[in-house]
Structure 1
């Protein structure tokens, strides 16, 4: 794995969900709603956390502004952001597979 990608991993839960939401362009409120929906309401990101994360992720080159409409600024993943997210998903898949192997032992 490239060092450029590795330095961002593992992603925090909130960062993971923000990046997952930005596979398509979304504005802040849209990201907050999408995160709640896809996490089945297990993750909720407030505006302060979200806009701080947007700033940090934009500086890191993982997201970029994708335009404005009706005073709403839209963001989307960069190529680096897509690669980081893909690697995080791969890591999570391995973790889930490891968990699936252990579940029968826990149920004894």
Structure 2
């Protein structure tokens, strides 16, 4: 990211950032969110998840935290993650890009007329 233009996010990286935009959580929670939001069509395995998290941490988009959610039993092996400010900004940037791409897909007739559905 030295030239000021961060590299594009991979689909897995965006999915992890999206999961963390809802609040800090652990790896199993991230995998569960992704499976739920994609109706099971995307299953992020542990290897992919933790490689993605390591890359996001190295890039300063995510940080590990020792804090857990209230009411959850403490498990010293469980690692919790949260977005950094830069991670939030990158997730927003990617979401805006996906919004533009979705709009183009609607214009091309690939998704039906979502705009009409929104106006209802």
TM-score by length of 2: 0.77
Alignment of 1:96-107 (within 5 A): 96-103=102-109
User: How far off its partner does 1:15 sit?
Assistant: 1.0
In structure 1, list runs of 5 or more residues that go unmatched: none
In structure 2, list runs of 5 or more residues that go unmatched: 68-73, 111-120
Greater radius of gyration (CA): 2
1:61 matched residue in structure 2 = 60
Alignment of 1:15-94 (within 5 A): 15-23=13-21, 24-68=23-67, 69-71=74-76, 72-94=78-100
1:43-65 deviation digits (Å, cap 9, x = unpaired): 11101111111111101000001
More strand by share: 1
More helix by share: 1
User: How far off its partner does 1:67 sit?
Assistant: 1.3
Instruction: Return the alpha-carbon distance in structure 2 between the equivalents of residues 52 and 99 of structure 1.
Output: 31
Aligned residues: 101
Give me the CA root mean square deviation: 1.8
User: How far off its partner does 1:66 sit?
Assistant: 2.0
Higher mean alpha-carbon deviation, 33-42 vs 68-77, is at 68-77
TM-score by length of 1: 0.85
List structure 1 runs of 4+ shifted beyond 3 angstroms. none
